[in-house]
């Protein structure tokens, strides 16, 4: 994981340039809806922990993100526990690690949920719309959509990485946090 702390006021920018599409989708859904269901909170929350967001910042981030739907008291009651929980500060104090692609790809995603891997879980039209909104042009679109359709999710993700960074990753990226670390290495070199 990242050993450098990531300030939460940078997450909007980072989501556009250094997040893999699964985490960008969760971040954008959270900003749009002021809410994420439990599986989405877990997938995104553990990723944030992995990129160096501290527990204090994570609590602030989720409280602000939920503020249109839950006031401070409601947040404390309904959600703060789970944030502390995946930092290993509540319950059995398990120190959860961020999910890898395999786990994310094999998760089940219901209506109104945004976790999972977009290359696996979005239908072609929704994926096309999402990629267009991320600035992927038609010249790369068909290749990514076809890779996703053929079940080559990692290759679709690798192509997305290449498009976003104007160069391919130096190695296969099998974990959203590895994607982030590789992106930061390229963009800050
Ligand atoms: Fe996220 Fe992995 Fe899917 Fe890429 S392949 S979008 S990193 S789950």
Dump pLDDT digits (tens) for 79-113: 999 899 889 887 777 789 999 999 999 999 999 99
Q: Which residues contact 155 (CB under 8 A, 6 or more apart)?
A: 147
Q: b or e along 26-52 (b: 16 or more beta carbons within 10 Å of the residue's beta carbon)?
A: bbbbbeebebbeebbbbbbbbbbbbbb
Helix (H) and strand (E) counts for the chain?
12, 0
| Residue 17 Cα to ligand 1 middle (Å) | 15
Tens digits of residue pLDDT in 109-140: 999 999 999 999 999 999 999 999 999 999 99
Helical spans, DSSP H, in 134-171: 138-149, 153-165
Please give the model's pTM, rounded to 2 decimal places: 0.95
21 lines ligand 1 (CB under 6 A): yes
Q: How far is the CA of 19 from the centre of ligand 1 (A)?
A: 10
* pLDDT tens sequence across 30-41: 999 999 999 999
CB-based contacts of 84, cutoff 8 Å, min separation 6: 55, 59, 90
Candidate from 44, 99, 118 with most ligand 1 atoms within 8 A of CB, to mutate = 118
């Amino acid at each position: 994981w990242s050993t450098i702390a990531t300030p939460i006021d940078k997450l909007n920018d980072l989501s556009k340039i250094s997040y893999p599409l699964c985490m960008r989708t969760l971040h954008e859904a959270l900003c749009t809806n002021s809410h994420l269901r439990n599986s989405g909170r877990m997938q995104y929350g553990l990723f944030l922990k992995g990129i160096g967001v501290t527990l204090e910042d994570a609590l602030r981030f989720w409280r602000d993100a939920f503020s249109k739907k839950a006031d401070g008291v409601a947040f404390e009651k309904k959600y703060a526990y789970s944030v502390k929980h995946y930092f290993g500060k509540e319950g059995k104090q398990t120190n959860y690690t961020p999910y890898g692609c395999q786990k994310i790809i094999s998760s089940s995603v219901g209506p109104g949920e945004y976790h999972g891997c977009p290359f696996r879980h979005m239908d072609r039209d929704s994926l096309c719309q999402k990629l267009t909104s991320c600035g992927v042009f038609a010249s790369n679109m068909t290749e990514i959509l076809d890779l996703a359709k053929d079940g080559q999710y990692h290759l679709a993700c690798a192509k997305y990485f290449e498009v976003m960074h104007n160069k391919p990753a130096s190695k296969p990226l099998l974990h959203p946090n590895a994607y982030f670390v590789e992106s930061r290495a390229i963009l800050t070199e």
